[in-house]
Amino acid sequence: MTRLTWTKHDRGWQSGRYLIELAAPRLWVLTSVKSRAGGDHDVRIEDTAGSLSVLKGIAADLETKRISRSRLVSRCLAMVAAIAGLMTFSTFEATWAPAAIVGMSLIGFWALLGAIDSILRRSWESISATYQ
């Protein structure tokens, strides 16, 4: 779980892109702010709760997921580079072509399994969050 450093402001508590505000007695609201091109900001309400500490935990979970998504993109780019390298290598070394094909197939299969797992995990999280 990611450790966020929270700072108290006049509007509530803030840590990086996340802001927790007291909307009503015993009703806290977690919002995230994303900067867009042109200086505009995209504000999104992430969740509400009756406790500040619960929303801090939810914000930490959201940040962990955001970081893991960016790591997944980096891994996919590395796999594409590895496949391109194997394809280039196999064009120059005809004796290594079968090994390169097997290597590309394994990398592609691993990427496919990761993508399927990512899709299934996200869909299950949204269902469980809706019905809790």
* Over residues 3-25, mean pLDDT: 88
Sheet holding 41-49, edge to edge: 7-8, 13-15, 18-24, 27-35, 41-49
Q: E strands of 1-132, at which residues? A: 7-8, 13-15, 18-24, 27-35, 41-49
65-76 confidence digits (pLDDT tens): 878 777 777 777
| Secondary structure (DSSP) of 76-97 | HHHHHHHHHHHHHHHHH-GGGH
Q: Are residues 83 and 105 in the same domain?
A: yes
Task: Tell whether the model's pLDDT for residue 36 goes beyond 60.
Answer: yes
Q: Are 59 and 15 in contact (CB under 8 A)?
A: yes
Number of domains in the chain: 2
Q: Residue 28: its pLDDT value, please?
A: 92
Q: Whole-model pTM?
A: 0.60
pLDDT of residue 125: 57
pLDDT of residue 128: 55
Residue 22 resides in a domain: yes
Q: Do 83 and 122 have their domain in common?
A: yes
In a domain, 1, yes or no: no
**Within a domain: 2:** no
Is the pLDDT at 110 greater than 70, yes or no?
yes
